Amino acid sequence: MLTISSQKNLTLSWRIFHTSAKPIPGRLLSYLSFQATREGKQKFDIPFNRQQLAEYLSVDHSALSNELGKMQREGLFTVHRNHFLIKTDLV
pLDDT one-digit tens code per residue, 67-91: 999 999 999 999 999 999 998 766 5
pLDDT one-digit tens code per residue, 8-65: 777 766 777 788 868 999 999 999 999 999 999 999 999 999 999 999 999 999 999 9
Q: Strand, coil or helix: what is 50? A: helix
pLDDT at 5 over 70: yes
- Phi and psi for 78 in degrees, rounded to 5? -115, 150
- Phi and psi for 60 in degrees, rounded to 5? -70, 140
pLDDT at 50: 96
Tell whether domain 2-86 is in CATH 1.20.1250.20.
no
The structure's pTM equals: 0.81
Closest of 60, 64, 61 to residue 32, by C-alpha: 64
Q: Which is it for strands 77-80 and 83-86: parallel, antiparallel or unpaired? A: antiparallel
